[in-house]
Amino acid sequence: MNDSIYKRRSIRKYLDKEVPKELIEQIIDAGRMSPSAKNRQPWRYIVLGGESKSEFLEYMWKGILREENESVLLPNSHNGISDAKNTWNIMLQAPILIVILNTNGKNPFDMVDADGRFVEICDTLSIGASIENMLLKATEIGLGTLWIANTYYAYKELTKYLETTQQLVGAIALGYAAETPPQRPRKKPEDIVEYRL
């Protein structure tokens, strides 16, 4: 059994240390090897560092502030803005961001029919498997990660910056961990499993 499953942690503090490109390539390769519905492999990864990462975060900050103060697109998610700001600070600290796009996905503000929704669900599951593969590979090779969904607060700003119509799913913060957090509580097997054998 892969120990990385049990060693992986969500890292929110990073060392100011460059991540070699060869290690990033190993992580991306692990992501592309994950299973996908109908073998569509709907993922696209954009690796950001340096000035590109700074520009991405500038657009994300603008989107968070817009959502907080002006044009609210997600009124029922307003109470998560402080968490989004905290996530932004973590992303600022991490030397690398891997942005994940769904190549088949539609803009979440557009309507989709039932068939399109099922395709989107299947592709999102596939992308989740891809992200988990990357997190586990990063753990295996001594890097820390944080799986990020708070990009949705700045969805329009970020897709404009990335010049894409593909669906922005989220991002991964990547770097050398500056903390060793304990495992967070997990539900007991008896609370989550129903056997019908």
Q: Please name every residue paired with 168 in a beta bridge, in sequence order, or none if there are none.
A: 101
Give me 77's structure tokens: 């998610």
pTM for the model stands at: 0.95
Residue 70: per-residue pLDDT: 82
Where is 11: in which H helix or E strand? Answer: none
Sign of CA dihedral 117, 37, 77, 66: negative
Q: Specify the length of the chain in residues.
A: 197
Cβ pair 101, 43 in contact under 8 A: yes
Give me 68's structure tokens: 């907080």
SS3 104: coil
DSSP letter assigned to residue 152 = G
At residue 176, what are phi and psi to the nearest 5 degrees? -85, 125
Residue 1: per-residue pLDDT: 43
Give the number of other Cβ atoms within 10 Å of residue 181's Cβ. 12
Fold classification of 19-178 (topology level): NADH Oxidase (3.40.109)
Residue 167: per-residue pLDDT: 97
Digit-by-digit pLDDT tens for the chain (197 residues) are: 469 999 999 999 999 999 999 999 999 999 999 999 999 999 999 999 999 999 999 999 999 999 999 878 888 898 999 999 999 999 999 999 999 999 999 899 899 999 999 999 999 999 999 999 999 999 999 999 999 999 999 999 999 999 999 999 999 999 999 999 999 999 999 999 999 99
* Domains of the chain, residue spans: 19-178
SS3 153: helix
CA 92 to chain centre: 15
Cβ pair 46, 166 in contact under 8 A: no
